[in-house]
Structures are given as structure tokens and as C-alpha cells.
Chains A and B, each alone.
Chain A
């Protein structure tokens, strides 16, 4: 157990080292950092002074170690465009993204697992077939098209829900939540559904496939032969054994949700980190791009690590084999 986690930890550190190297080279090779910090009419002396302040004339390796040191402390310098510390900007926008991701993950999980179990147990009914066909379409639909369609239907046509932005926020220190007011929920529901649909279909298909496979195994037949109720067989025995791959997918998909929040946030103008990233790419705001890259990689690494450890707890076979 200990060595297993240690090895995973080593791999995670390697990932972070490579990602931080990429993000460091972004600073050095994309655009001229000095040009981005001073105006067009800065004098030669001012430029040289800033170069020295930033330590751009130091050897590349010492620049990298300094970058790493700052990174560990969450310091990515000032945004070129907004001239404010990048870590503040990210922290400010993080609650919006996390709430969006949280709500969509709940939707995807609850609806996905429920429909997955249903279509797995009651295969061949017309409802199962309909759900499966719709889910295939769901996989083919790009996120932004789902977003546009929902906006057109519920915001432009029916006028039930707002089409963009986040509203009804309540402050808790630095965390602004929109989950406590009706307005906030009205604003979050469309982006959350948009973001969840793709993951929902994935979870649905996975749970269904796993259920179909598990139901054919001997221990399920034996459970039936023992005369256990249908309910006990399906949920106590079958569902439990489908959970290992489902946990993996859920873990990896939380990362996917964060990635696709870039698209969803742009479609709905949701003021989260994804929208900030896209705007940063538009304006070549390197500090934000670099910080976001490191931030996402860190999230992924942590999630993967948690998933691996969960495996250990859920599946005794891995525990014994490892």
C-alpha cells in the first residue's frame, strides 16, 4: 500500500515537473515579457531596469528554480492585461467554476447511474432503446451546440431562464456562492446541464455495459438461485461490482468537467476560471495561461491520486496483488 502510493506520488511529481517546465517556457518564448509590462513609449533604461528586476538576464536554470519556488507559493506574477496578481484573479473566479462543476457532476452522476441501471436491467424495452439512442446523439453533440440549443429554447424562445452570467451571489468571505438563492439557481441550471450531458451519457453507457456483464456472472445466478429478491440481487450484488470502473471514470471525468467548463463558461459568459483562460489566450496574457495550466494539471494529478487510493479501498484484489 505504502509503496504503491509512493510510486503514484512520484509519477504525479514528474507530471507536475514537466507541466511547470512547459509553463515556464511559455513565459520565456511566447512574446517579450518586458514589452508586455511596459507601454510602447518606455525608454531603453526603463526596459533594462525591468529586465533586471525580473531577472531575465540570469542563467535559464536559476530562472527556472526561481519560477518553481514562486509557483509552489502560488505566485505567478501580475497579469499583463489586468495588472493584478494572477493567484488573486484565479481565487476570485474559482468558486464560480467549482460550483458549476459540482452541480453538473451531481446531475451527471445521479441521472447517469439511474438510467444506466435501468437500461442494464430492463434491456430490450422501448424505453431503454430510446434512452440509448438519445445517449448516442449526446456523445455526438459538441458541448457548445448543446449550450446554444438550450439558450435558444429556454432563454430566447420560452424566456424561462437567463441566458448568461451568474447572479444572486451571497458572500462568505472570499467565497461568493450562487447556490443559496433562486436567482442563482436559475442562472446555474442551463450551464450545469450543458456541462453534464456528455459525462452523463458516458456514465450511463458505462454503468449499463458493466451491469450487463456482471448480471451474466455465476455469483449473480447463484444469488438468484438462493431466491434473493430482485432488488437485493440488482443493487446489493450487481451494482456494487460495477463500481470500480465507474469510480475511475467519475474521477477522470471531474477533470473533463473542468476542461469543458472552458467551453460552457464561454457560451454562457459564466464568470469562472475557464472564461478567464480563454480571454487570457485571446490577449496573450501569459501569466494567466501558465498559472491556469499548472492549476489544471495539479487538479488532475490530485484527482488521479485520489482515484488510485479509492481503488485500493474498493477492490480487495488490487490490494492483495499490489
Chain B
């Protein structure tokens, strides 16, 4: 009963939050979060951390091309993970590439989430024909596998752009392609949650005092549907990063001039047969670690937010 006497400080309330509690009491989550944070921070601050700037021609020399990692015979200490075919330092390229991969993944998930949540809340709250139309579209889209759809949208997007703008806007096209493919999951979950919330008394109360529908959706229903959305968003982030890497690996995504992790793996793959394993190996490891950490976080979050399992 002591809490009622004295209002809790923000920090105490934060500590008492069930999600935060569960976080600090599962070692897997803490490890995953640490790895994810380190990798994501390293990538975001790539310009500050990276020993070289892979986009600065003055720092690249072809003479230093195809050098193995520093600990292998023939490696040079300033290139810790070796260099690629153009003489770029692998470590720096990976950091910059990871940065692009994360940014594209985040942007794509945000696009899918905003689109899906909006349509989901509207669909669940308005109901009727609107609901039927939105959900049918989601159903149809779910029958076609995401990666195929992304390849298709991406291909169309590139064709629609004039030739000289294709490389420049490739990143946006990829974001659009992935974002447009993953909205149905968000829409379905949000719609389900909205249907539950819309019948509760606080929503009826808001309706009675005459609030407009959009305000009820935005201020009252939306915040209460966000928990499951958070879980899907985390798993969606991992999937979006994989989707971007896959598109780029297939040569459909981000061009080699500003490589993402997928582009780096694609370029490196051509040198695999000549024994230059590090050009593919390190970007691939970076991608796997990144995706694995995000997946672990998602797994933990699903358990933590599911009251049945607590």
C-alpha cells in the first residue's frame, strides 16, 4: 500500500513495468539486446568508428586490393578483415553496409507498420464494406509470398524510373517494395486488437461524449493495440533486413556504388571460387549476427508480452 501514499517517480514506474522486469530477468534477452545494440550502434556510427571511408577514392588504392585478413599470411595490420577487390577495407565497408541495411530495414518496417496499423484500426473500427475490402486485399496479398512480391514491386519501380535516376533512388524503391509487402500482418493483428477494444466501456464513453471517430481511433484505440504490433515489428525488422539483403544479392536491390550487406555478399560471391573467402564471409557473418540478435529480441518480446506464458 506504500505506493498510494507517495507518487512513484518515473524511474520507479519504469522499473516496476512488467516488460522491463521480464527483460532484466531473462539472460537471453539481455545478451541479445547487448549484441543487437552493439552491432546497431557500430553501424550507425560507422563514419566515426570505421578506420577508412570506403566512399573516398583518395583512401582506396587498387594495389591494396584482395588482401587477406590481418592474421592470415600476406595480410596487413591496418586492414583487420582484409580488403575487397577494389582495395576497400572490409571492416569499414561492412560497417557502412550494415548501416544502410539497418536503415533500409527500419524504414521499410516503419512504412509497413504505419500503413498496416492505420488500415487495421480503420478496418476494425469502421467495419462493414471498408473492413471487407481491406481484409480481402490483405488476404490476396498474403497468398503471394512476400519476397516474390518485393522482387516484382522493386522491378516495376526501377523500370518506371528514368535510367539515370535508378541507382540514386534504388534505396527508396527497395524500402517501398519491402514496406508494401509486409503491411498485411500488421493490419490483421491491429484489426483483431481493435475489434476487442472497440467494445470496451472507455471507447463507448468516448463515443458518448461525442468525440469524432478519427480521434477515438488515434487517441484511445491505437495506444491499446500497440503491444502485439511491437512484436511483429521486431520480427518484421529481421525479415526486412533479410529481404533487403536477398534483393541486393539477387542484383535487384542496392547498387554496388553504395553497397549494403547483401550487395557486398553478392560482389564477394564472385570471388569465392578463387579462394578469396573473406570478401563474402565477413559481410555474411555480420548479416547473420544482426538478424540473429534481432530475432532473439523478437522471441523474447513475444514471450514477455504474452500473459499466458508469465
Which chain A residues have a beta carbon within 8 Å of chain B's beta carbons?
11, 14-15, 18-19, 26, 30-31, 136-137, 139-145, 148-149, 151-152, 156, 163, 255-256, 258-260, 262-263, 266, 277-278, 281-282, 284, 289, 293, 296-297, 300-301, 304
Measured in the bound complex, the distance between the Cα atoms of B252 and A142 in whole Å is 16
Closest to B281 in A: A152
Residues of A within 8 A of B242 (CB): 142
User: Which B residues touch A266, using CB under 8 A?
Assistant: 250
Q: Which residues of B contact A284 (CB under 8 A)?
A: 155, 159
CA distance in complex: A11, B140 (Å): 9
Q: How far is the CB of B278 from chain A (nearest CB, A)?
A: 12
Are B148's CB and A262's CB within 8 A?
A: yes
Interface contact A151-B156, CB-CB below 8 Å: no
- Contacts A26-B156, A152-B272, A282-B251 given; indicate if A140 touches B288 (C-beta within 8 A): yes
Is B147 part of the contact surface with A, judged by Cβ < 8 Å?
yes
Closest B residue, CB atoms, query A257: B145
Residues of A close to B292: CB separation below 8 A: 136-137, 140
Taking a contact as CB atoms under 8 Å apart, the answer to whether B250 and A256 are in contact is: no
- The verdict on A142 contacting B287 (CB below 8 Å), with A148-B269, A278-B151, A289-B152 known, is yes
**Of A259, A289, A304, which one neighbours B155 at CB under 8 angstroms?**
A289
User: Given A31-B159, A143-B246 in contact, is the A148-B147 Cβ separation under 8 Å?
Assistant: no
- CB nearest neighbor in A for B280: A148
Given contacts A284-B159, A289-B152, contact A19 B140 (CB under 8 A): yes
For A255, the chain B residues whose CB sits under 8 A away are: 143, 145
Separation of A144 and B245 alpha carbons in the complex (Å): 9
**Contact call B295/A262, Cβ cutoff below 8 A:** no
Q: What are 16 A-B residue pairs whose CB atoms fall within 8 Å in the complex?
A: A31-B159, A136-B296, A136-B299, A140-B238, A140-B291, A140-B292, A145-B287, A156-B273, A156-B275, A259-B145, A259-B148, A262-B250, A281-B151, A281-B155, A284-B155, A297-B143
With known contacts A140-B291, A142-B242, A148–B284 Cβ distance under 8 A: yes
Cβ contacts under 8 Å, B277 to chain A: 152
Q: Which one of A142, A144, A263, A300 has the greatest number of beta carbons of chain B within 10 Å?
A: A142
A residues near B291, Cβ cutoff 8 Å: 140-142
Q: Do B280 and A296 have beta carbons less than 8 Å apart?
A: no
Known contacts A14-B136, A18-B140, A304-B143; decide if A142 and B245 are in contact (CB<8 Å). Answer: yes
The yes or no answer to B249 lying at the interface (CB within 8 A) is yes
Residues of A within 8 A of B139 (CB): 11, 15
Q: In which size bucket is the chain B interface?
A: 35 or more
B144 within 8 A of A: yes
CB within 8 A of A30: which of B160, B246, B265, B295?
B160
Per CB-CB distance, the 8 closest pairs between chain A and chain B, nearest first, are A259-B145, A281-B155, A140-B292, A142-B242, A300-B143, A140-B291, A259-B148, A144-B249
- Tell me which of B148, B155, B245 contacts A296 (CB under 8 A): B148
- Measured between beta carbons, the chain B residues less than 8 angstroms from A143 are 246
B:86-135 near A, CB below 8 Å: none
Looking at B246, B251, B280, the one whose CB has the most chain A CB atoms below 10 A away is: B246
Q: Which residues of A contact B249 (CB under 8 A)?
A: 142, 144, 263
- A-chain residues with CB within 8 Å of residue B238 when the two chains form the complex: 140
Closest Cβ of chain A to B134, distance in Å, is 13
Q: Is the Cβ of A30 less than 8 Å from the Cβ of B156? A: yes
- A143 to B246 alpha-carbon distance, docked (Å): 8
B265 CB contacts on chain A under 8 angstroms? 144-145, 148
